[in-house]
Structure 1
Amino acid sequence: MDLVALVDFVTVARNGGFGRASRASGRPKATLSRRVAELEASLGLRLFERGARMLKLTEEGRALHERAGALLTEIDETAAAIASGGDRPRGRLRISAPLLFSQTAMGKLAAGFALKYPEVRMEVTTEDRPVDMVEEGYDLVIRVNPDPDESLVGRAFLRDGLVVVAAPDLVYTVGDVVPVVIRGTPGQSSSWTLNTPTGRTNLQIDPVLSLSSMTMVRDAVRMGVGAARLPLSLVSHDLATGRLVRWGDVEGPETVLWALYPSRRLLSARVSAFLDYLKQAFPLGTADELAAYVED
């Protein structure tokens, strides 16, 4: 395979077109087009779907871009590290993180990392949706209980649990229908299953307020509007001070936060450094540890 043609293909794929790739690389547009056509001919595959105004990777082109792009990035970073006499983290680090973790901990993490590694330019975006790391140019994503993905590897770095909490003056007895605050839109369920010190119980619920974030739900619960299911780390301080009381633990799997990155043989120094920084921040990976980190 012609490595120059492969480099040209990755350049075009990253820039989304021959014209933009030409301007970014300084190589003639006609040369890039010819090299990509030669690569397609040698592979016997169409790598791009060419329209009048758009250029789109085929399924085969996407697979080649994912693997070849990661490999070429590693080569560039290795060469830069050798040239600078070491593997000190430097360059841009793009991270996608979920809303709640971003609101509570990511600002502090990002600032601490930036102070420790001043040559890294960190960019953090907040979103709960699954992102395409290759297409959207992320180096690392943080996700809650992610679905299996063969193209990604990762590390679980925090574990949390959901608890049902309420203001101290909101009380209930078995059989009562309890006002609750929920995140998102009400579902079909009319009850929550709880594990309490006295055993397993079903709580009959009436969603009286629907909000779009966990921090908003917590603030509403503090006001006494109703009970809510919230991460233990988010309400740990309120429980310790008596501002909220714990009715029980939500039955179901624990909440696990993962740091995910493209499956590749070598990690960039930036990603490796951030993974190590996460481990230093949360060595045990418990809900209490996250709560203490946020309150510190």
Structure 2
Amino acid sequence: MNLRNSTHVTEFILSGLSSDPNLQLPLFLLCFSVYMVTLLGNFMLVLVIFVTPILQTPMYTFLMNLSVIDIFYSSAITPNVMFNIVSINKTITITGCATQMFLFIDLAGSEVMLLPAMAYDRYVAICKPLYYARFINRATCFQLLSSIYTAAFVNALIHTYCAFTLPFCKSNRINHFFCDINPILKLSCKDTFVNQMLAFVVAGSLEVGSLLCIMTSYICILSALCRIGSSKRIKPLSTCASHFTCVAMFYCPVFFTYLRPNSAYSVEQDWVVSVFYTLIIPMLNPIIYSLRNQDVKQALTKLMASTMAP
């Protein structure tokens, strides 16, 4: 993709989180703290699942992939945000901006499609337990994950290519703290209706389709749980509650950002929502699963005890 030949602009300027110099240090420390907790929480979850034989099941394989996605998802944005907070020159090259947008769309798309795969895993485990080994096994996990990552890659490539072959001649200032698709399209001097419709239709299909799969799975799960004894509901409800909490946190801001009319676009609202789903959610996911999952908590306790033992 020849980015430089498609535009009069050679670099962009990111407006950042705030232009107030008094907020630079607090914002930097906040972002740094959130990023460190994100890395630590997700690395610990990956490590615990990887070294604990009892956790090497399809359910935890999906959870480990979610943590890996969150690590790269946060790393694609947060370090650059921290650099721009303390930097006088807040520029980013077109290639760097395109790379960031590609990684963001790719990883966000992977998470959008991974969450229904996790819901399907819970559906089979709870509603069709006798067929679990047949429907959910290593081969199935590999096929699902390969399909998810391939589809997310192609989706990100299409959006990035279409956005960065536009001519940018209005301004080179991105009114955002990272290279997101909506602020980028605002800078083009060409009609972006096709790009906007592409983003709306593709994002809508992925998000609505994924959410429908999740909701269908949970309707079946709740129906099955109503037919068993209350004492047997605790563990599956705990696992499902963790997953559903992550689903709600992820989908609500994404729907608000990408599936609203372009006329309703608001920079201030977009910033608040974007901060939540790019910085906060990757930090909260491992915390939610660690606190509500007894198997993970026990494995984590054993791992810490063995590490600290003389």
| TM-score normalised by length of structure 1 | 0.24
Identify, as 1 or 2, the structure richer in helix: 2
Identify, as 1 or 2, the structure richer in strand: 1
